[in-house]
Amino acid sequence: MVYQEIKRIYKDIFHSYDSPFLEEHLQKIIEIDRYLPYDSTFFCITNTQSLAFEYISKNTTACLGVESDELKHQGMKSFWGRIHPEDIEPWLMALDELMKFTMGEIDITNRNRMSYTWNYRIKHGNGKYVNIIQNTTPLEFDSDDKPIIGLAHYTVLHPKIEMPITATAKLLNEQNEYETKYFNNFSRKLLSDGISNRERDIVRLLVLNYSSKEIAVSLDISSNTVDTHRRNILKKLHISSTGELIGMLKMNKITL
């Protein structure tokens, strides 16, 4: 998915016309950042209107291998360009569903007490992909009480850790404890909603280690047709091999 298409979808999700005042928030974050130790986390203040980073913490370069000044100058365009291509579609689905849930299910008086978490893979400066868990807390809202300015906290995890793309929304309750109000596994959603019934039949047999020839006999179709379905399945799910597909199914405990 090209950048302009990502930008269009992203701006549709966060569409707004207000310009919140950030100076007070920025000053507090900058003061805190001076005293935080270097570790495997970094944070930014994100602006979903201008698609810019209002502030990027000092740990960013150490975590991502990218100069923070460069990332700030290029904004979200540069950051999006590093997201793993296979993760872009479920990532956008997650953002869209979180926004719909917030606007439809969370009372206006509680939206400033929400916290959102999702994950994806992003390319490190060394060219390898690492896992990112992003937690965003709203700082400012537009006239419709839609969150548009957020404090985003990123945790970097080893690339060998296999993680389905999920999204969570939590509410800070009166006891100052976070309650999970929304959870969705978007790797599972993409798999269950994105393929046809015939393709689903083939996936079930692939999980049972059937060969293309055995699948053809079982479904009374040709081996060439099976191979065509297999290629289409991999293309739809943005994965590179049948082994990766089977691994994703088992990892997420998905039953088709």
Residues 38-42, mean pLDDT to the nearest whole number? 81
Q: Which of 8-22, 179-193, 213-227 has the lowest mean pLDDT?
A: 8-22
Q: Which helix (H) or strand (E) holds 52?
A: strand 52-56
- Which residue range forms the structural domain that includes residue 237? 195-252
Q: Mean pLDDT, the chain, as a whole number?
A: 84
Question: Would you state the pLDDT for residue 28?
Answer: 73
**In this structure, are 141 and 182 located in the same domain?**
yes
**In this structure, are 69 and 170 located in the same domain?**
yes
Domain boundary, last residue among 142, 162, 186: 186
Long-range contacts of the stretch 235-239 (C-beta < 8 A, 24+) = 236/194, 236/195, 236/199, 237/190, 237/191, 237/194, 237/195, 238/85, 238/86, 238/89, 239/86
Domain boundary, last residue among 186, 213, 230: 186
Q: Judge contact between 134 and 44, C-beta under 8 A.
A: no
Indicate which CATH number applies to the domain containing 241.
1.10.10.10
Greatest mean pLDDT among 196-205, 212-221, 227-236, 246-255: 212-221
Amino acid at 140: E
At CA 155, angle to CA 244 and CA 108, rounded to 5?
105
Residues 229-233, mean pLDDT to the nearest whole number? 88
Residues 28-46, mean pLDDT to the nearest whole number? 80
**In this structure, are 142 and 215 located in the same domain?**
no
Domain boundary, last residue among 139, 165, 186: 186
Between CA 109 and CA 88 the distance in angstroms is 32
Q: Judge contact between 48 and 163, C-beta under 8 A.
A: no
Residues 130-137, mean pLDDT to the nearest whole number? 94
Tally of domains in the chain: 2
Q: Facing residues of 167 across strands?
A: 118, 184
**In this structure, are 60 and 19 located in the same domain?**
yes
**In this structure, are 199 and 181 located in the same domain?**
no
**In this structure, are 207 and 168 located in the same domain?**
no
**In this structure, are 147 and 201 located in the same domain?**
no
Q: In what order do the strands lie in the sheet with 178-185?
A: 52-56, 41-47, 147-157, 129-141, 114-123, 166-172, 178-185
**In this structure, are 210 and 145 located in the same domain?**
no
Identify the residue whose tokens are 């006239």. Answer: 143
**In this structure, are 142 and 238 located in the same domain?**
no
Between CA 155 and CA 43 the distance in angstroms is 9
Question: Would you state the pLDDT for residue 8?
Answer: 76
Amino acid at 126: N
Report the residue count for the chain.
256
Take residue 116 and report the two structure tokens written for it: 């959102």
- The CA–CA distances, whole Å, from 207 to 191, 195, 199, 203, 250 equal 14, 15, 12, 6, 9
Indicate which CATH number applies to the domain containing 119.
3.30.450.20
Q: Facing residues of 42 across strands?
A: 154
**In this structure, are 8 and 84 located in the same domain?**
yes
Question: Would you state the pLDDT for residue 86?
Answer: 84
**In this structure, are 161 and 203 located in the same domain?**
no
**In this structure, are 136 and 229 located in the same domain?**
no
**pLDDT confidence band for 250 (50 / 70 / 90):** low
